[in-house]
Amino acid sequence: MRTDPKTISEKILSLKSRTDARAGDIVEADVDYVMVNDVTGPLAFQEFEALGCEPVRDKIVLIPDHFVPNKDVASAKQAKEMRDFAKRWGIKNYFEVGRGGVCHQVMLDNGFAYPGALVVGADSHTCTYGGVNAFATGVGSSEAAAVFATGQLWFKVPGSIRVLLKGRPSKYVGGKDLVLKLISDIGVDGATYKTLEFGGTGVSSLTVSDRLSVSNMAIEAGGKAGIFPCDAATVAYMKTVRKDGFNATLPDGGASYERTLEYDLSSLESMVALPHLPSNGKAARDVQVQIDQAYLGSCTNGRIEDLRLAAEIMRGRKVHKDVRMVVVPASVKVFEQAMDEGLLTEFSKAGAFVSGPTCGACLGGHMGILAPGERCVSSTNRNFIGRMGHRDSEVYLAGPAVVAASAVTGRITDPRDLEAVQ
């Protein structure tokens, strides 16, 4: 067996396939969990039933979230298919409406993603879990069905791009700003079928929530995965969501990378991605755009840390008279914590609409839909044409601090500028 140093991806896929996996190899690996939602689940159920076998029940997680609550008869039928599948096969990890939330946050809240794990999901932003040192990636519904049946899946081991971080971000700057800057530098295809592996002394200055935001958007650069090392912050976080053990995975010194990028977090500014690509990044201070809507939530920035930051900015202020603000905690757990901390009251006092957890607005499915010509600053992950409504609407991606500041001023705003006019 070779003894060459390995990347995090190579180490996890070696362990799960019981092989000496290297970039470019094809391996068949044991999957720890497979997740589907109300949109991707029905096709997976159909494909699985055609196989005529019993499911690997304990590895399956079913989470309705895209059209929650159901917006019409068609979405209600999709949700019923998931509910019926869970009942028929006795799937214990089914999270009914009101008991779960946005699928990726529910996976994290319940400890299904953890260091050293191999997790797949029939949703492209499954790569989120790399923020807690898992190898996690999106798959198709038919591939999810294969995992339902066997508990395994084949993978081509991705090569890795090393992203070295140093320094500490300034106030109001976080993981979303880092990933928007990164994608603006390498483009939406700059990491196609690669792992973005983050490291360096700057990692410790990023919260786990920040890391999850960064990994979430690895797919927006074409990445197969986005992975952070496991450190003290990861371990502390895992103790809050998972009782069982996990396998902290670090890269070997001298591991082979396809390229190395370096970022000084102390020099980062609040970023905004202009329509219609996440790679159209600019400093928020350089964007002079009036907005109609501000959206805070999603699997990218709907965690408690995001809500706290936005509430801090909005405390004692009001949403601009020409703007509507929508606030969506990412899960029931986050919603309840925000309620206990009084954050939801702060948003409501400011004039924002607060919702239970749902993906609805993020994908333009329902709630918060944009009319022709309207502009939204959003803490979500995609700003493609028509993403949140009419094809002539515009979505500007930003972190929670920029979203909150912009909601107050009625235009894209760097939160430091809002402080300056107090």
Of 205, 216, 129, 218, the C-alpha closest to 174 is 205
Q: Which of 49, 42, 54, 50 is nearest to 81 (CA)?
A: 42
In this prediction, residues 312-326 reach a mean pLDDT of 96
What pLDDT does 54 receive? 95
What pLDDT does residue 286 have? 96
Please give the tally of structural domains in the chain: 3
> Looking at residue 150, which CATH number applies to its domain?
3.30.499.10
Q: Are residues 143 and 202 in the same domain?
A: no
User: Looking at 215-292, which runs of residues are DSSP E strands?
Assistant: 225-227, 259-264, 271-273, 281-283
| 342-354 tens-digit pLDDT | 999 999 999 999 9
56 in the same domain as 88: yes
Report if residue 125 sits inside a domain: yes
Note if the bond before 125 is cis, omega within 30 degrees: no
The verdict on 391 and 352 lying in the same domain is yes
Residue 365 pLDDT:
84
CATH assignment of the domain containing 232: 3.40.1060.10
Is this structure's pTM higher than 0.75? yes
- Weakest mean pLDDT among 152-156, 245-249, 304-308, 418-422: 418-422
Q: Does position 220 have pLDDT exceeding 70, yes or no?
A: yes
Across 272-291, average pLDDT: 96
pLDDT tens-place string over residues 186-209: 999 999 999 999 999 999 999 999
The mean per-residue pLDDT over the stretch 210-215 comes to: 98
Residue 295 to residue 308: CA distance in whole angstroms: 15
Residue 421 confidence (pLDDT) above 70: no
- For residues 162 and 135, membership in a common domain is answered with no
What is the predicted pLDDT for the residue at 422?
53
What pLDDT shows up at residue 186? 97
**Of 265, 229, 224, the residue nearest 248 (C-alpha):** 229
170 and 128 in a single domain? The answer is no
Report whether 248 contacts 235 (CB < 8 A): yes
For the chain, the C-alpha Rg in angstroms (whole number) is 21
Kindly state the average pLDDT of the residues 82-111: 96
152 & 114 share domain: yes
**Average pLDDT over every residue of 52-80:** 94
- The answer to whether residue 406 is domain-embedded is yes
Task: Say which DSSP state 159 is in.
Answer: E
In a domain, 232, yes or no: yes
Are both 278 and 415 inside the same structural domain?
yes
* Residue 397 falls inside a structural domain: yes
Domain assignment present for residue 278? The answer is yes
Q: Where are the beta strands (DSSP E) in 308-363?
A: 324-328, 353-354
**Looking at residue 1, what is its pLDDT?**
56
SS3 273: strand
Q: What is the mean pLDDT of residues 344-371?
A: 92
User: Is there a domain that residue 5 lies in?
Assistant: no
Domain carrying residue 111: 25-156
Residues 314 and 287 in one domain: yes
Q: Confirm whether 2 is domain-assigned.
A: no
In this structure, are 174 and 284 located in the same domain? no
Do 81 and 116 fall into the same domain? yes
Residue 133 has pLDDT above 80, yes or no: yes
What is the four-CA torsion angle of 134, 137, 139, 143, rounded to 10 degrees?
-30
Three-state helix/strand/coil letters over 87-152: HHHCCCCECCCCCCECHHHHHHHCCCCCCCCEEEECCHHHHHHHHHCCEEEECCHHHHHHHHHHCE
Q: Are residues 210 and 305 in the same domain?
A: no
Residue 19 lies in a domain: no
Among 234, 268, 302, where does a domain finish? 268
pLDDT in tens, 137-162: 999 999 999 999 999 999 999 999 99
The predicted-structure confidence for 100-124, as pLDDT tens digits, reads as follows: 999 999 999 999 999 999 999 999 9
In order of 181, 225, 271, the CA distances from 167 in angstroms are: 15, 24, 18
Q: List the structure tokens of 225.
A: 């995965």
Which tokens hold the place of 417? 């500028």
- CB-CB neighbours of 232 under 10 Å: 8
State which of 105, 137, 156 marks the end of a domain.
Answer: 156
Based on the fold, state whether residues 177 and 213 are members of the same structural domain.
yes
Mean residue pLDDT of the chain comes to: 95
For residue 295, what is the enclosing H or E element?
A: strand 293-297
pLDDT category at 362 given cuts 50, 70, 90 is: confident
